[in-house]
Amino acid sequence: MSARKAPANNRVAPPSALRRYGSQLGIIGVGLAMWLVFVAAAPAVFTDKDIYLAFMQTSPQFGIIALALTFVVITGEIDLSFPSIMALGTAVFALTTAYGGMPWYVGLIAGFATGAACGLLNGFLVAKLNIPSLVITIGTSFLFRGIELVLMDGTGVPLTAEEYPAMHAIFREPLWGIPIQTVWMIVLGVIAWILLNRTRFGAHVFLVGDNQTSARLMGVNVVSVKIRAFMLVGLFAVFAGLMTSIYGYYFWPTTGEGFLLNTIASVFLGGTSVFGGTGSVIGTFVATYIIGAINAGVVSAGINAFFVQLVFGLVIVISVVLQTIIERRIRGQSLTGR
């Protein structure tokens, strides 16, 4: 009996492995190909370390959120409210410290608690009340932004190094010559990878995204999984909001605006399926820096800056189409046992 079962298992394993790692290898290949094109088009720029230091400072500001958003998209949902959560969580930090006179670490706790609460609300509305995430997170985006504007009365708060030395040491000062923003993205990327690939929660995220009904039959608490995924986005969004504000020495009420498309693009370009069930933290990580490099690459190559949006669209559309074709092909091979 065992001798006859072994060949069948051997036939199924390769497609499964390809399906799991194919998107990661694909996005790494896309990144290398794009880098070679940029080097050939603008060698003076892309052989200078300063351009890479710039990428390492700016890309993580939206890439950190993309890491957490990967979890939500894998479950088959989407969160469009994270730019507002960035602003609201950072506003609570500013109010707690600048106006409330509390220490910076108390402000951090209050800010992260706000992000978690926003994620909890999003997750509850989506998972418990079965409201489409695309619709409800548009609504909560206006809600969170409105609360932030009311709290701040439309004004900002200086976040200078003199007033917040510890925060600048955490979020702005380089570490061993490496921009601290990328150091944090690597740390959070490792944590996200472990959560997604080495924990029961991560396994449940994939199960829920692949088939909610089957997940429930297997005893998975679908509501809890989705709520925790949205809460993770809330926490990472506040982290990115604080880092962005400290980087600019000032908290603006408009914090988070302009982050939506780059963040979502990083998730889908990184190989996470829009249909849910498959995704990759590594793919999102690499895609973040690809998105960050496109703008500088297009301009450095001497192409009109108006073409940046065009290049963004082409890269994302082509990548998603190729991922969809590859995924369907792999699934077809799995069903036929080839």
For residue 75, the domain's CATH number is 1.10.3470
Q: Which domain holds residue 210?
A: 22-329
**Percent of the chain having pLDDT more than 70?**
84
> How high is the pLDDT of residue 301?
66
Tens-place pLDDT, residues 315-327: 777 777 776 776 6
Tens-place pLDDT, residues 189-215: 999 999 999 999 999 999 998 888 888
Would you say residue 46 lies in a domain?
Answer: yes
Would you say residue 117 lies in a domain?
Answer: yes
Would you say residue 336 lies in a domain?
Answer: no
Asked whether residue 24 carries a pLDDT value surpassing 70, the answer given is no
Q: pTM for the whole thing?
A: 0.86
C-alpha–C-alpha distance, residues 97 and 75, integer Å: 36
Reported in sequence order, the residue ranges of 132-190 that DSSP labels E, i.e. its strands, are 157-158
pLDDT average, residue stretch 269-290: 84
Number of domains in the chain: 1
Would you say residue 191 lies in a domain?
Answer: yes
Asked whether residue 260 carries a pLDDT value surpassing 80, the answer given is yes
Q: Nearest-CA neighbor of 90 among 111, 68, 63, 104?
A: 111
- Greater model confidence, 55 or 263: 263
Would you say residue 338 lies in a domain?
Answer: no
C-alpha–C-alpha distance, residues 127 and 225, integer Å: 9
Asked whether residue 124 carries a pLDDT value surpassing 90, the answer given is yes
> How high is the pLDDT of residue 131?
92
> How high is the pLDDT of residue 10?
45
pLDDT average, residue stretch 9-19: 46
Would you say residue 209 lies in a domain?
Answer: yes
Would you say residue 115 lies in a domain?
Answer: yes
> How high is the pLDDT of residue 333?
60
> How high is the pLDDT of residue 208?
92
Q: CA geometry: angle at 247 spanning 244 and 291, to 5°?
A: 55
> How high is the pLDDT of residue 305?
65
Tens-place pLDDT, residues 125-175: 999 999 999 999 999 999 999 999 999 888 888 888 888 898 998 888 888
Would you say residue 256 lies in a domain?
Answer: yes
* Assigned token pair, 183: 């150091």
Tens-place pLDDT, residues 36-84: 877 777 777 777 777 778 778 888 989 999 999 999 999 999 999 999 9
